[in-house]
C-alpha cells in the first residue's frame, strides 16, 4: 500500500511541475514575441525618422528610451527603462542570493510585482500616445484591448502601424 501512495504523491508533484514548466514557457514566448514585434516597430520608425542609430532599437532596455522618444515622452521612456533594469537586477539578486532572510526575499518579490505593474502602466501610456498619433478616434478602443490582453496586443498594434507617415 505504501508504494501506491508514494506513486500517487509523485504523480501529483510531477503534474504540478509540468504546469509550472508550461506556464514558464508561455510567459517566455509572450515576452519574446512582444520584444520582437516592438523592436521591429521601433527599428522601422527610427529608420523612417533618420535617427542616428536605428539598430539600437534592438537593445533590450534601451529600446524603452526610444519608445519614449517616439511617443514624445522621453522622461517616461527613461523611467520605464530604469524600472525594467531594476526588475532585471532584482530577479538576478533573488535568484543568486540564496542566503537572504525570508523577509528580504518577500520584500524583493513584492517590489518586483509593484515594478512590473508600473512597467505595464507606463507601457500602456506610451503606446497610447503613439497610437493617438496614428489612429486618432480608435485609440481608446485599442488601449482597452491592450489592457485586456495584458499588453500582448500592444506590440502587434505597434507592429501594424509601423509604416504610417504620421509617426515621422
DSSP helix/strand/coil, 50: coil
| Spatial distance between the Cα atoms of 9 and 101, rounded to a whole number of angstroms | 30
Task: Give percent of the chain above pLDDT 70.
Answer: 98
User: In this model, does residue 2 exceed pLDDT 70?
Assistant: no
Q: What DSSP character marks residue 167?
A: G
pLDDT band at 7 (very low <50, low <70, confident <90, very high): confident
pLDDT of residue 103: 84
Q: Residue 23: how many CB atoms within 10 A of its CB? A: 10
Q: What is the mean pLDDT of residues 119-144?
A: 92
Average pLDDT of the residues of the chain: 91
Contact in structure between 61 and 49 (CB atoms under 8 Å)? no
User: In this model, does residue 1 exceed pLDDT 70?
Assistant: no
Task: Give percent of the chain above pLDDT 90.
Answer: 67
Question: Tens digits of per-residue pLDDT, 50-109?
Answer: 999 999 999 999 999 999 999 999 999 999 999 999 999 999 998 888 788 878 888 999
User: In this model, does residue 168 exceed pLDDT 70?
Assistant: no
Residue 155: which of 87, 72, 57 has the closest Cα? 57
Kindly report the pTM of this predicted structure: 0.85
| Spatial distance between the Cα atoms of 73 and 80, rounded to a whole number of angstroms | 11
Q: Residue 109: how many CB atoms within 10 A of its CB? A: 13
Q: How many helices (H) and strands (E) does the chain have?
A: 6, 0
Amino acid at each position: 500500500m505504501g508504494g501506491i501512495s508514494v506513486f500517487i504523491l509523485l504523480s501529483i508533484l510531477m503534474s504540478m511541475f509540468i504546469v509550472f514548466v508550461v506556464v514558464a514557457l508561455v510567459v517566455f514566448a509572450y515576452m519574446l514575441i512582444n520584444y520582437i514585434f516592438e523592436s521591429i516597430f521601433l527599428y522601422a520608425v527610427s529608420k523612417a525618422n533618420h535617427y542616428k542609430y536605428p539598430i539600437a532599437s534592438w537593445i533590450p532596455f534601451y529600446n524603452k528610451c526610444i519608445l519614449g522618444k517616439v511617443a514624445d515622452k522621453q522622461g517616461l521612456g527613461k523611467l520605464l527603462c530604469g524600472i525594467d533594469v531594476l526588475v532585471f537586477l532584482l530577479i538576478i539578486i533573488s535568484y543568486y542570493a540564496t542566503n537572504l532572510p525570508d523577509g528580504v526575499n518577500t520584500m524583493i518579490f513584492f517590489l518586483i510585482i509593484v515594478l512590473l505593474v508600473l512597467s505595464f502602466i507606463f507601457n500602456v501610456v506610451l503606446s497610447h500616445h503613439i497610437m493617438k498619433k496614428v489612429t486618432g478616434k480608435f485609440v481608446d478602443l485599442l488601449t482597452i484591448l491592450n489592457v485586456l490582453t495584458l499588453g500582448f496586443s500592444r506590440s502587434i498594434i505597434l507592429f501594424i502601424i509601423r509604416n504610417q507617415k504620421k509617426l515621422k
